[in-house]
Amino acid sequence: MALSGAGGFGSMALERDKHIAERALLTMDETQLLDLYRSMLLIRRFEEKTAEMYARGKITGFCHLYAGEEAVAVGAISALYDKDYVLSTYREHGHCLAKGASPRVVMAELFGKATGISRGHGGSMHLFDANLRFMGGYAIVGGGLPLAAGLGLSVMYKEEPEVVCCFFGDGALPQGAFHESLNLTSLWKLPVVFICENNFYGMGTLVQNAICQEELYRFAEPYKMPGVRVDGMDVLDVYGAVTEAAARAREGDGPSLIEAVTYRFRGHSMSDPAEYRSRREERIWQERDPIKALHRKILHDRRATEARLDEIDAEVAAAIEDAVKFAEESPEPGLDQLGKHVYADE
């Protein structure tokens, strides 16, 4: 049993050629790069504020923060079209915001308010927006993969050009649903992009203690689909891989598996002090902060000014304050709402 943790992975050469990421950097204009930056920063500040609100008792229950992993959600979703579907897990705030949800309605949902994106019925783990095609957060590990297969089936059935992007963690690999879903989507050539966010820990369990094949992208091979491993701390590496995978899916060439190597800066949930990780390991990964990395890259390559980036920082800070104010001032759902929405046909 390996006890060394995930510190070694920081220096491991990732198996992917980064030329696509470099090309993406060159072909993107200032607006696109700044959008990536803004989107990641919005998630980071949102999660920080969520932690604060949780500590103050405004948010309760289970709350799983995405800080550190922003490059995966933002890189992937930026590579999709608006009408593409995204399906996530209980660690979904980042995906939901990246898909275009207003921080107001997400924060209001965390506060349990009637104005929340799920009317206060869902909470942190069950956000949903049909118009944005953000098809939900789910609490059961691996529970979303069969749904993604079905969404892919509906797209193919209706002969539409959309793709389905399904996010899940390393903890889902041992679930039967993972294997069944990869088999089915490969067999039927469904337009699904499976993105495994490998942050090395399923709750407190190291990935190598949970799964016999710790190079998770290799699971693509028995399921006869392309599989790549990308640097999940590099938004452009993720963007490049998802662009390719989505194009394949759209052309009818079926599903792909992308393993994004990343790290969650905080514990599994708000109640987890992450004692199974060393502070040293956490520091190593914080030095690979995807937002700081993009900030440095933008300045180094002179794609925008520091003043412009500072402007974005201020805009994001204001958006978060606005979201909290909106959530605070929103009403709770009435008790008459309790029995509503159990059935669509009532």
Partner 1 sequence: MAQITYREALNQALREELERDERVFIMGEEVGYFGGAFKVTDGLLAVFGEKRVRDTPISELTIVGAGIGAAMGGLKPIVELMTVNFGLLAMDQIINNAAKIHYMFGGHAKVPMVIRAPQGAGHQLGAQHSQSLEAYFLHCPGVRVVLPATPSDAKGLLKSSVRRDDPVIFLEHESLYGVKGEVPDADYLVPLGKANVMRAGKDVTLISYSKCVYDSMAAADALENQGIDAEVIDLRSLNPLDIDTVLESVRKTGKAIVIYEGWRTGGAGAEIVAQIQEAAFDHLDAPVERVATLDTPIPYNARLERAALPSPAQIIEVAERML
The binding site for partner 1 (CB under 8 A) comprises: 85, 116-122, 126, 128-130, 135-136, 138-140, 143, 145-155, 157-158, 176-177, 180-181, 183-184, 187, 340-345
Q: How far is the CB of 120 from partner 1 (least distance, A)?
A: 7
Residue placing its CB nearer to partner 1 in the complex, 85 or 285:
85
Q: Return the residue matching tokens 């939901």.
A: 96
Residue placing its CB nearer to partner 1 in the complex, 183 or 278:
183
Contact 105, 319 (CB under 8 A): no
Residue placing its CB nearer to partner 1 in the complex, 139 or 203:
139
Q: How far is the CB of 33 from partner 1 (least distance, A)?
A: 33
Cα 146 from Cα 184, distance rounded (Å): 9
Helices (H), the chain: 19-27, 30-55, 70-78, 93-98, 103-110, 144-157, 176-187, 235-250, 279-286, 290-300, 306-329
Contact 148, 166 (CB under 8 A): yes
Q: How far is the CB of 340 from partner 1 (least distance, A)?
A: 7
Q: How far is the CB of 181 from partner 1 (least distance, A)?
A: 5
Judging by beta carbons within 10 Å of its beta carbon (0-12, 13-18, 19+), is residue 86 exposed, middle or buried?
A: buried
Residue placing its CB nearer to partner 1 in the complex, 147 or 196:
147
Contact 115, 330 (CB under 8 A): yes
Q: How far is the CB of 175 from partner 1 (least distance, A)?
A: 9
Contact 128, 118 (CB under 8 A): yes
Q: How far is the CB of 326 from partner 1 (least distance, A)?
A: 17
Q: Which two tokens stand for residue 301?
A: 């390559």
Cα 338 from Cα 266, distance rounded (Å): 34
Residue placing its CB nearer to partner 1 in the complex, 122 or 171:
122
Q: How far is the CB of 318 from partner 1 (least distance, A)?
A: 27
Residue placing its CB nearer to partner 1 in the complex, 95 or 295:
95
Cα 145 from Cα 165, distance rounded (Å): 10
The amino acid sitting at 239 is: Y
Residue placing its CB nearer to partner 1 in the complex, 28 or 153:
153
Residue placing its CB nearer to partner 1 in the complex, 153 or 312:
153
Residue placing its CB nearer to partner 1 in the complex, 33 or 125:
125
Q: How far is the CB of 173 from partner 1 (least distance, A)?
A: 15
* Strands 201-202 and 205-206, bridge-based pairing: antiparallel
Q: How far is the CB of 150 from partner 1 (least distance, A)?
A: 2
C-alpha dist (Å) from residue 195 to 52, 220, 230, 295, 316: 29, 11, 10, 25, 27
The CB density around residue 282, as the number of other CB atoms within 10 Å, is 18
